[in-house]
Chains A and B, each alone.
Chain A
Amino acid sequence: MAETHEYKRPVPKMRGFAAEFYAYCKQHELRFQRCADCRTWRHVPRDMCAKCGSFAWEWAQSSGKGTLFSWTTAMQPMLPQFADLVPYSPVVVELEEGVRMLSWLTDVEDADLQLDLPLEVVFDDVTPEVTLPKFRRAG
């Protein structure tokens, strides 16, 4: 799925926990933090479990399956690097594990966006260093 031309859009800065999150994405694994004590999943990554106060956690693998929680369809570019894509839709996906993340859909027209649409993760190697998780309709 990698784009053949040079990728000019902003990529994650990959500092701290984000470096670990995206390192797993590069291996085509969608992993989120899960508390090692109370097993609560969380995203975005944090130092502590807000539920039980534990500092112990692991990068637990997600099923990659989820549903569409919300979206917006950008009809004008706010950054020049996305101008050629307009309209495009930054969407909120709710994973089976309960965490939610921002992403893009690869195969859904804007007119077909609807709450609870079943989705599954796909990985887009946008550069040799960076892989962005995206989602498509689940079969």
Chain B
Amino acid sequence: MYPLKDQACIVGVGETAYTRGSGKTDLALMLEASMHALSDAGLSPHDIDGIIPPPLQSTSEHFAANLGVEDLRYAVTVHMGGASPVTSLQSAAMAVACGVAKNVLVPLGWNGYSTMRLRDMGNKSKGNGGGGGGAPGALANTIGEYYLPYGANVPVQWYAWLATRHKELYDTPDEAMGTVAVTSRKHAQLNDKAYMQGRPLSMEDYLNARWVSKPFRLFDCCLETDGAAAVVVTSPERARDLKHDPVYISGIAEGHPYPADDIPARPDPFTIGLSFATPNALQMADVDLKDLDFAEIYDCFTYVVLLQMEALGLCKRGEVGEYAQGNRFALDGELPLNTHGGLHSEAHVWGMNHVVEATHQLRHEAGERQVQDAQLGLVTGWGDFGDGSLAIMRR
């Protein structure tokens, strides 16, 4: 019924340093992470015959020319913002399972601090074109014509409409949002790559921080960083000859809110992309949520994590305020969350670092932050106006 289950696996992961001021181009960062991923897999660049670059300036042609891929058999790009990396895994898995490509490279990187800050979206002098000035193509018309005149040009404002209504309807306490931020920061202290290592955050710090766009305070918002991460996907057969035990893509799905290009118009604002992806990925993997050993949930903003928890079915609609409390998400808790620090406290590379971390956890090589005997984990993606994706991964 689900022919894609366990038919592809991640065999190599790589990252650059996460900084504010890389001094390199987006492409150079991604090539560096890609070479780390290939080395981790025990493959050479010439083994790559599929490339799925992110919806940014660098194309598969640029990658192939730099890496020396003379016979590129599969090249696509997923246009789902921060949901792109996980959805790209789905595309890579399909290509591998069908024999279209043997080894697929999925890179993601940018100068998210030095060059293209999300806060500048819609600002013509700094944006990268399009009707909304820097906004992704599918959203540019809505933003430029109907949001921008009212000063609503960036994600922290759009997602706040979802958060405000949900918070008002269900009386979610600020501390539930804070739990996401504080947990991520705590886990980042055990991660040498985390940008926020050495800078702990208490609930008091969280609550006392300045407002950005209500109901979001400073630490409701993720980092802006420079850096790149990449993974290599291949078949279980080829994985046998490679350096590491494979991490299987057991269930994977994408989902889109309706309509995807306008947030106010949605009949139910809390039916997000992940609401559609969840049943498909869980059924494909044939697992239950209670079987999960950890969750890497896309954390651009704290409340986005809470909405995804409800969409995943970890708790019922409106109950996440009660669910997201205490030590539930600690490394030795019921469901360890964003074990590397996430976008909040490690780095913002569109969640590709979540995929890398899930791989480390399932290989049992996460060091001090290793979740004991981790066998099964999930990674979500969130992008644009609430596009979603979900990967269920196992060792």
Chain A interface residues (CB < 8 Å from chain B):
9-16, 18, 21, 42-44, 50, 69-82, 85, 88, 90, 92, 99-104, 110, 114-115, 130, 132
Do A72 and B151 touch across chains, with their CB atoms under 8 A apart? no
Do B211 and A79 touch across chains, with their CB atoms under 8 A apart? no
Beyond A12-B146, A70-B164, whether A90 also contacts B152 by CB under 8 A is yes
- Say yes or no: is B122 at the interface (Cβ < 8 Å to chain A): yes
Do A78 and B149 touch across chains, with their CB atoms under 8 A apart? no
- Say yes or no: is B47 at the interface (Cβ < 8 Å to chain A): no
Query: Chain B residues with Cβ under 8 A from A72's Cβ?
Result: 152, 156-157, 160-161, 163-164, 213-216
Query: Chain B residues with Cβ under 8 A from A9's Cβ?
Result: 149, 151
* CB of B4 to closest CB in A, whole Å: 30
- Could you say which of A12, A44, A76 contacts B149, with CB atoms under 8 Å apart? A12
Q: Which of B122, B152, B160, B163 has the most CB of A within 10 A?
A: B152
* CB of A70 to closest CB in B, whole Å: 4
* Contacts beyond the supplied A78-B151, A92-B263: 8 A-B pairs with Cβ under 8 Å: A44-B141, A44-B142, A73-B213, A76-B210, A78-B153, A102-B152, A103-B150, A104-B150
A-B interface, 4 closest residue pairs, ranked by CB to CB distance from nearest? A72-B160, A75-B211, A90-B152, A100-B264
Q: How far is the CA of A114 from the CA of B214 in the complex (A)?
A: 13
- Say yes or no: is B269 at the interface (Cβ < 8 Å to chain A): yes
Do B262 and A44 touch across chains, with their CB atoms under 8 A apart? yes
Beyond A9-B149, A11-B149, A44-B142, whether A79 also contacts B212 by CB under 8 A is no
* CB of B335 to closest CB in A, whole Å: 29
* CB of B112 to closest CB in A, whole Å: 16
* CB of A113 to closest CB in B, whole Å: 8
**Number of CB contacts from chain A to chain B under 8 A:** 123
- Say yes or no: is B114 at the interface (Cβ < 8 Å to chain A): no
* CB of B133 to closest CB in A, whole Å: 9
Beyond A12-B145, A74-B213, whether A69 also contacts B165 by CB under 8 A is yes
Query: Chain A residues with Cβ under 8 A from B265's Cβ?
Result: 42-44, 99-100
Do A12 and B151 touch across chains, with their CB atoms under 8 A apart? no
Q: How far is the CA of A38 from the CA of B212 in the complex (A)?
A: 43
* CB of A110 to closest CB in B, whole Å: 8
Query: Chain A residues with Cβ under 8 A from B138's Cβ?
Result: none
Query: Chain B residues with Cβ under 8 A from A43's Cβ?
Result: 265
* CB of B221 to closest CB in A, whole Å: 11
Q: How far is the CA of A9 from the CA of B119 in the complex (A)?
A: 17
Sample of 20 A–B contacts (CB below 8 Å) = A9-B149, A12-B145, A16-B141, A18-B141, A44-B146, A70-B165, A70-B168, A72-B152, A72-B163, A72-B216, A78-B123, A78-B153, A78-B156, A80-B123, A90-B150, A92-B165, A99-B265, A102-B264, A110-B214, A115-B165
Query: Chain B residues with Cβ under 8 A from A99's Cβ?
Result: 265
Chain B interface residues (CB < 8 Å from chain A):
119-123, 131, 141-142, 144-154, 156-157, 160-165, 168-169, 210-216, 259, 261-265, 269
Query: Chain A residues with Cβ under 8 A from B165's Cβ?
Result: 69-70, 92, 115
Query: Chain A residues with Cβ under 8 A from B216's Cβ?
Result: 72
Query: Chain B residues with Cβ under 8 A from A114's Cβ?
Result: 168
Do A73 and B214 touch across chains, with their CB atoms under 8 A apart? yes
Beyond A100-B265, A102-B152, whether A71 also contacts B164 by CB under 8 A is yes
Q: How far is the CA of A9 from the CA of B122 in the complex (A)?
A: 12
- A44 to B, closest residue via Cβ: B262
* CB of B156 to closest CB in A, whole Å: 8
- A74 to B, closest residue via Cβ: B213
Beyond A18-B145, A100-B264, whether A76 also contacts B212 by CB under 8 A is yes
Do A79 and B168 touch across chains, with their CB atoms under 8 A apart? no
Query: Chain A residues with Cβ under 8 A from B161's Cβ?
Result: 70-72, 90, 92
Q: How far is the CA of A67 from the CA of B210 in the complex (A)?
A: 29
Do B149 and A132 touch across chains, with their CB atoms under 8 A apart? yes
- Could you say which of B146, B150, B211 contacts A18, with CB atoms under 8 Å apart? B146
Do B154 and A78 touch across chains, with their CB atoms under 8 A apart? yes
- A14 to B, closest residue via Cβ: B145
Query: Chain A residues with Cβ under 8 A from B144's Cβ?
Result: 12-13
- B269 to A, closest residue via Cβ: A70
Query: Chain A residues with Cβ under 8 A from B156's Cβ?
Result: 72, 78
